[in-house]
Chains A and B, each alone.
With several copies, the nearest count.
Chain A
Amino acid sequence: MDLHEYQAKELFRAAGIPVPPGEVATTPAEAEKLAAKFGGTVVVKAQVHSGGRGKAGGVKLAKTPAEARAHAEKILGMEIKGLTVRKVLVAPGEQIATEAYVGVLIDRAKQAPVFIVSAAGGIDIETVAKETPEKVRKLVVDPRYGLLPHQAYWLANFLYDDEGLIKQASKIMSQLYDCFVSNGASMAEINPMITTPSGEVKAIDAKMSIDDNELFRRPEVAKMRDTEAEPPSEALARTAGLSFVKLDGNVGCCVNGAGLAMATMDLVKYYGGSPANFLDIGGSSNPDKVVAALQIITSDPNVKAILFNIFGGITRCDDVANGILEAMKRIDIKPPIVIRLTGTNEEVALEILAKAGFFAYTSMDEVVEKAVQLASA
């Protein structure tokens, strides 16, 4: 789950990381009021789950409250990489001497959190890491010990020469690590971490993703989910316990298992079609899940054909068949449905479907080819 900048900053502040003040506005009037409250130059920043806000015009300096209002007017409702901006963060402008990058994420190979820091801050770290690896210092944290003081110092020492700055940054590294672990994060980033001309180190931007699997034990973090920031179909899928990603093709896919679902999408493309979605109904074969899946798929007007590809293991084919019939009753499904079922209780399922006038395939290639044909008809 991605957090907005202002939410990540809340968690940073709670961990003791020095984050300048800042408040959220949802209307231009609120933005103006906040600018007046802070006084002087403020920055107005779009709150969307996307990088590149600056380039997209989503971050603007305002010298007066009126200017802040004008910026907010433009930014609120703006689309950045397909996401609509519904909130802006208004924060006092900071005097910046230097900018650095500090990030923590999970290193899959080392199976541990890894710090990445660079004195080349404010820019894209992946580019820096690739093109000028000498500008990046990495540290894998041993999860048995956590971030040790000398390691925090080692990271900070890569960014600064001044002992005062190093000490502040070391402390921030430790606080960021604690913040990362205590909130069940999968990523936490300060970009940029700035120094001011008077020698203070501060986090002026914040980015954080929380491991979805941690949310059950962190209700206060789970509450931060911004359901408005995700497509309604994905919010619905999440509630129904389905894995769903909307794509822009016309073949709706309903599959059990993530790997098989991807392979099915790929096969749609192989046969010249284009998948409308990724959808994994998961291991359980509750008919209600099938109904929800069909609701979500049919809510996409691009969908011209719907394809089921089920390889029963834990999932029982008869449950899926019943779910399909149940959905037909409850919702008005326009696009044609083609079905492939094999595995657990296959025979029962085929009989159920046959009775309802459905033909079911047992080969994945056949059913995908058929679905592509129907969609392009």
Chain B
Amino acid sequence: MAIFTDKSTKLLVQGITGRDGSFHTREMIAYGTQVVGGVTPGKGGQTFDGPGGRKVPIFNSMDEAVAATGANASVIFVPPAFAASAIMEAADAGISLVVAITEGVPVLDMTRAHAFARDRGARVLGPNCPGLLTVGGAKIGILPGRIASPGPVGVVSRSGTLTYEAVHLLTRAGLGQTTCVGIGGDPLIGTNFIDCLSAFEKDPATEAVVMIGEIGGTDEQQAAAFAKSSMSKPVVGFIAGQTAPPGRRMGHAGAIISGAEGTALEKVKALEASGITVAKRPADIVGLVKAALA
């Protein structure tokens, strides 16, 4: 079991013929993900060569691709100028999970795209996220599959490589994962901590959750309140950015401390006040998860 995806997930790749799109399509197929098609306007009718001689049909539009393949998920690798439009196209075509990897999508574009996806009942993950990895099931996005191993821990994070770090540490310590989700570093993301915590709570295979936050916004605080009120499973936290100065954007568009609430200190306080144990450094996550599972 896992959250949002499983072996039956049928995936389309929007921007399959681009540099990143083609590279990661091969990686996803190699991991075992059912990539049923790709979309690149003007290349409809062509075929994408996957690993092991696998042929993936290419379509001009999501509408055609969904009609032909019965896909229920898509992953977006198109350039920032077209990413919001690609999200809306996917939602309009009836896709229920849209994973937007693209970084640098204008925020105002996303105000409309998120509203549109909500209107159409589609879940968006991201944008500017590494995607999600259901261990032994489907890999949607760019999380490196080899660092994960099956087990009882759910991982949710606003970061990419910091997630790899945490998953790597867990795996090395023999603590496997159900699903690892990178929710993305943008200010406006489609799926937040609470959505993931709620899904992990419902997932019978998940026994503990690692939640990796960072400075900016108040999502972690709200997630902490949710964990306290609505979760029976233990949550272990980590917050990056203790040393980040206020008012400066730390890489991620969403990682900026504006006002007192967005600091790492405030977030750690909120997590601890809700009964979540917080790791002081990434390496401490392992011990805290072990303790939680004991």
Whether chain A touches chain B in the assembled complex (some CB pair under 8 Å): yes
Q: What is A's interface to B at a CB cutoff of 8 Å?
A: 106, 108-109, 111-113, 126, 142-145, 148-151, 153-154, 157, 163, 166, 181, 184, 186, 211-214, 216-217, 243, 245, 247, 255-263, 265-270, 275, 278, 280, 283, 311-315, 342-344, 363-365
Q: What is B's interface to A at a CB cutoff of 8 Å?
A: 20, 23, 41-42, 60-64, 80-82, 85-86, 88-89, 92, 103-108, 110-112, 114-116, 119, 130, 142-144, 147, 157-165, 168, 185, 187-188, 212, 214-215, 217-219, 222, 238, 240-245, 248-255, 259, 264, 280-283
Q: CA of A194 to CA of B92 in the docked complex: distance in angstroms?
A: 29
Q: A153-B61, A166-B41, A212-B104 are in contact. List 5 more A-B contacts (CB 8 A).
A: A111-B114, A148-B85, A157-B61, A212-B253, A364-B282
Residues of A within 8 A of B249 (CB): 243, 245
Q: A113-B111, A166-B42 are in contact. Are A262 and B244 (CB under 8 A)?
A: yes
CB distance A262 to B115 under 8 Å? Answer: no
Residues of A within 8 A of B241 (CB): 262, 265-266
Residues of B within 8 A of A261 (CB): 250-251
Residues of A within 8 A of B41 (CB): 153, 163, 166
Q: How far is the CB of A14 from chain B (nearest CB, A)?
A: 18
Q: CA of A343 to CA of B281 in the docked complex: distance in angstroms?
A: 20
Q: CA of A184 to CA of B111 in the docked complex: distance in angstroms?
A: 12
CB distance A106 to B188 under 8 Å? Answer: yes
Q: CA of A256 to CA of B144 in the docked complex: distance in angstroms?
A: 14
CB distance B243 to A275 under 8 Å? Answer: yes
Contact of B80 among A109, A142, A213, A315 (CB under 8 A): A213
CB distance A268 to B243 under 8 Å? Answer: yes
Residues of A within 8 A of B282 (CB): 263, 267, 364
Contact of A262 among B80, B89, B130, B250 (CB under 8 A): B250
CB distance A259 to B110 under 8 Å? Answer: no
Q: How far is the CB of B158 from chain A (nearest CB, A)?
A: 6
CB distance A343 to B159 under 8 Å? Answer: no
CB distance A365 to B185 under 8 Å? Answer: no
CB distance B92 to A109 under 8 Å? Answer: no
Q: How far is the CB of B56 from chain A (nearest CB, A)?
A: 20
Q: A259-B252, A278-B251 are in contact. Are A265 and B244 (CB under 8 A)?
A: yes
* Chain A residue nearest to B253 in the complex (CB): A213
Q: How far is the CB of A312 from chain B (nearest CB, A)?
A: 8
Q: How far is the CB of B198 from chain A (nearest CB, A)?
A: 16
Q: A150-B88, A259-B214, A262-B214 are in contact. Are A270 and B111 (CB under 8 A)?
A: no
Q: CA of A365 to CA of B284 in the docked complex: distance in angstroms?
A: 11
Contact of B165 among A216, A263, A315 (CB under 8 A): A263
CB distance B245 to A245 under 8 Å? Answer: yes
Residues of A within 8 A of B255 (CB): 258-259, 262
Q: CA of A363 to CA of B165 in the docked complex: distance in angstroms?
A: 10
Q: CA of A311 to CA of B252 in the docked complex: distance in angstroms?
A: 17
Q: CA of A261 to CA of B181 in the docked complex: distance in angstroms?
A: 19
* Chain A residue nearest to B19 in the complex (CB): A284
Q: How far is the CB of A375 from chain B (nearest CB, A)?
A: 14
Q: What are the 6 closest A-B residue pairs judged by CB atoms, nearest first?
A: A259-B159, A258-B251, A257-B161, A163-B42, A259-B162, A150-B89
5 pairs from A and B in contact (CB 8 Å cutoff): A149-B89, A257-B159, A258-B250, A267-B282, A364-B282
Residues of B within 8 A of A268 (CB): 243
Residues of A within 8 A of B157 (CB): 259
Q: CA of A3 to CA of B143 in the docked complex: distance in angstroms?
A: 37
Residues of A within 8 A of B20 (CB): 314
CB distance B243 to A269 under 8 Å? Answer: yes
Q: CA of A106 to CA of B108 in the docked complex: distance in angstroms?
A: 9
Q: CA of A275 to CA of B241 in the docked complex: distance in angstroms?
A: 12
Residues of B within 8 A of A106 (CB): 107, 111, 187-188
Contact of B92 among A126, A143, A151, A257 (CB under 8 A): A151
* Chain A residue nearest to B111 in the complex (CB): A143
